[in-house]
């Protein structure tokens, strides 16, 4: 699949992006003020409540995690990781279906026992003293890790597992497949069981952010920062499984609906049981990670597919982002086109996919950025720094001027379905 070119799902014919060389009239000076509907205002209000409720702690955690990361990078990390991965590879050769997944093994140990130890410590502190804000802060800081590495590693790994229908492990360890990460570790990181295996696979990858996607953003003007506030409640419905189950019932996919519903009921049952025992502890320790994940992945999902050519909406080279020379490329997630274009491909082959299909990326004038990361792109997007985004646009044709890059960015952000 690594050598295939972009094909329309409807016609099977290779398509060239209509906006290649397009002279856009979508300049920031020509944008008219937007009037929001009553429903949009309600969604904005809901988003503001969610953001205000978690923003103080999230901002403090992110800022501190960045500082901790500077200290973390001064440690002999490469020595430790190389030795850990050496052992993981030996073990992986014996127990994994795909030996290339050996790097997941130490992370599964980390995410299974480190948050649990922190949780027990926080629970013991709570039992003796009630909720202590410093304990809540330290718990979450150590849970997400330096520059939220632990948080990112877990979410990327459970995403990968969601696509691996047969699971990572051979017998006798196959009982861990889709259980250890999805039904246990996920409680510490705010993910519902089966969310990726069902909702992400059966809806998002079926429609690739089209209007039937449970968390599409293509009906919104993504150049308007307020659109993200309108988007968050839609993503909440997806992340909680509500819109996923609703869709699957509508399409009469009963088995998938039952799988998603079982994950939802399990998650609610655990939170309800914990709430009955200690509501304030549950709110601070278990519910916060859920809200944290909602906001973070609403932003990531919004970013990955915020570009669109309305005349060729199925063009995955345009409607999915690629980041080359990214600052924080976790398991090659920066090559998001490869993930959609050849979703069965192992992440270790994503860069090779990009190199093998570079002419097709060039032909389609693909959405590629260089020397940046998701966090920076989100900051530039929400602060409307189009010139900065244009500076980081990776034009494989080498023909676009700065203004043409900027116009193209704005056109693809403002195109809607």
Give the per-residue pLDDT at 246.
Answer: 97
Q: Is 362 exposed, middle or buried (0-12, 13-18, 19+ CB in 10 A)?
A: middle
Distance CA 237, CA 61 (A): 26
Angle between helices 133-144 and 38-72 (to 10 degrees): 80
Residues of the chain with pLDDT under 50: 1-14, 16, 21-26, 29
Q: Report which of 5, 2, 1 is spatially closest to residue 359, judged by C-alpha positions.
A: 5
Distance CA 340, CA 363 (A): 18
- What is the pTM assigned to this prediction? 0.91
Q: Report which of 127, 26, 83 is spatially closest to residue 406, judged by C-alpha positions.
A: 26
Q: Are strands 322-324 and 368-370 parallel, antiparallel or unpaired?
A: parallel
Going along 232-308, which residue ranges are E strands?
A: none
Does residue 367 sit in helix, strand or coil? coil
Q: Report which of 312, 241, 323 is spatially closest to residue 17, judged by C-alpha positions.
A: 312
Domain ranges of the chain: 38-304, 309-414
Contacts with 222 (C-beta within 8 Å, 6 or more apart), sequence order: 228, 302, 306, 307, 381, 413, 414
Distance CA 116, CA 112 (A): 7
Contacts with 333 (C-beta within 8 Å, 6 or more apart), sequence order: 156, 159, 339, 347
20: its two tokens? 């290649």
């Amino acid at each position: 699949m690594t050598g295939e070119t972009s094909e329309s799902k409807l016609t099977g014919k290779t398509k060239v992006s209509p906006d290649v060389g397009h002279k856009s009239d979508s300049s920031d000076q020509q944008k008219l003020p937007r009037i929001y509907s009553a429903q949009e205002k309600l969604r904005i209000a809901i988003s503001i409540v969610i953001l205000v409720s978690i923003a103080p702690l999230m901002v403090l955690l992110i800022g501190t995690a960045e500082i901790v990361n500077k200290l973390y990078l001064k440690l002999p990390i490469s020595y430790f990781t190389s030795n850990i991965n050496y052992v993981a590879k030996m073990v992986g050769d014996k127990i994994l279906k795909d030996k290339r997944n050996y790097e997941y093994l130490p992370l599964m140990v980390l995410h299974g026992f480190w948050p649990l130890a922190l949780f027990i410590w926080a629970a013991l502190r709570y039992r003796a003293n009630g909720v202590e804000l410093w304990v809540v802060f330290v718990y979450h800081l150590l849970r997400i890790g330096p520059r939220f590495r632990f948080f990112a590693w877990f979410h990327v790994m459970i995403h990968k597992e969601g696509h691996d229908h047969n699971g990572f492990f051979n017998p006798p360890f196959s009982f861990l497949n889709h259980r250890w990460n999805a039904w246990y570790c996920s409680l510490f990181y705010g993910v519902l069981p089966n969310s990726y295996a069902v909702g992400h696979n059966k809806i998002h990858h079926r429609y690739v952010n089209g209007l039937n996607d449970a968390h599409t953003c293509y009906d919104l003007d993504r150049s308007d920062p307020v659109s993200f506030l309108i988007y968050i409640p839609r993503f909440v419905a997806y992340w909680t499984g509500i819109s996923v189950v609703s869709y699957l019932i509508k399409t009469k996919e009963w088995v998938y609906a039952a799988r998603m519903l079982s994950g939802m009921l399990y998650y609610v049952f655990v939170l309800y049981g914990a709430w009955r025992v200690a509501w304030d502890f549950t709110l601070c320790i278990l519910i916060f990670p859920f809200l944290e994940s909602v906001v973070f992945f609403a932003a990531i999902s919004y970013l990955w597919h915020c570009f669109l050519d309305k005349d060729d909406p199925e063009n995955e080279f345009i409607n999915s982002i690629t980041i080359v020379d990214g600052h924080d490329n976790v398991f090659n997630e920066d090559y998001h086109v490869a993930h959609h274009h050849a979703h069965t491909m192992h992440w270790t082959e994503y860069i090779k996919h990009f190199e093998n299909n570079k002419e097709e990326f060039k032909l389609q004038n693909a959405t590629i950025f260089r020397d940046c990361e998701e966090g920076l792109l989100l900051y530039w997007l929400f602060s409307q720094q189009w010139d900065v985004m244009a500076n980081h646009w990776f034009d494989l044709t080498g023909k676009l001027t700065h203004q043409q890059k900027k116009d193209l960015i704005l056109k693809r952000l403002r195109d809607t379905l």
